[in-house]
C-alpha cells in the first residue's frame, strides 16, 4: 500500500467513532462513517471528554486543542482567529475546542493553569503549548514551527 493510500485514523468530534481515511482523500472532505459529520473540513469542532481523550491519544493527524470557557473574554475574542487558523492548516492539522467549564476533569489531567490554552498533540503525545489569546497568524506560525508545515 502506497503512502497516499495509507489510512489515517481520525476521531469524529460528534459521535466519537474512529474513522480510517485514505491520506490522499483528506482534502476531499471525508465524513464520519457513523454519523456523517465532517472529519477534516477546516472547521473547529467542539470536543467532549470522550472525543477529546480519544482524539489526542489515537488520531494520526496532529490536533490543536483550544481549552476555553464561555465566561472568558479573551477566549471568546480568540474564537474567530482560531477558526481562521483552522481553515489555513486544514487538512494537515485539525483544530478543536474543549469547554473547561463543562469538563473540569480534563483541566487537571492536561495541567491547564490558565485559559485560553492551546495544546498541540501528535501521535498521542503533547508536542507544545501556547498560552493566551492569539491572532490566526501566530497560531499558524506556532503550528508550522512545531510540525514543519509548508508556508
Residues that are catalytic: 72, 75
Q: CA-CA distances (angstroms) from residue 14 to 17, 51, 132, 146, 149?
A: 8, 8, 27, 27, 27
| Beta carbons within 8 Å of 3's beta carbon, 6+ residues apart | 23
Q: What is the DSSP letter of 44?
A: -
Query: Are 22 and 44 in contact, with CB atoms under 8 Å apart?
Result: no
Residue bearing cell 474513522:
19
Amino acid at each position: 500500500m502506497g503512502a497516499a493510500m495509507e489510512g489515517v485514523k481520525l476521531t469524529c468530534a460528534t459521535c466519537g467513532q474512529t474513522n480510517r481515511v485514505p491520506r490522499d482523500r483528506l482534502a476531499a472532505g471525508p465524513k464520519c462513517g457513523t454519523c456523517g459529520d465532517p472529519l477534516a473540513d477546516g472547521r473547529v469542532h467542539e470536543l467532549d471528554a470522550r472525543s477529546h481523550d480519544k482524539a489526542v491519544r489515537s488520531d494520526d493527524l496532529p490536533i490543536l486543542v483550544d481549552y476555553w470557557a464561555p465566561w472568558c473574554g479573551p477566549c471568546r475574542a480568540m474564537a474567530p482567529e482560531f477558526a481562521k487558523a483552522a481553515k489555513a492548516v486544514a487538512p494537515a492539522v485539525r483544530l478543536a475546542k474543549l469547554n473547561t467549564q463543562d469538563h473540569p476533569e480534563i483541566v487537571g489531567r492536561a495541567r491547564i493553569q490558565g485559559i485560553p490554552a492551546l495544546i498541540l498533540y501528535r501521535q498521542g503525545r503533547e508536542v507544545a503549548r501556547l498560552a493566551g489569546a492569539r491572532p490566526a497568524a501566530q497560531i499558524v506560525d506556532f503550528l508550522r514551527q512545531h510540525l514543519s508545515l509548508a508556508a
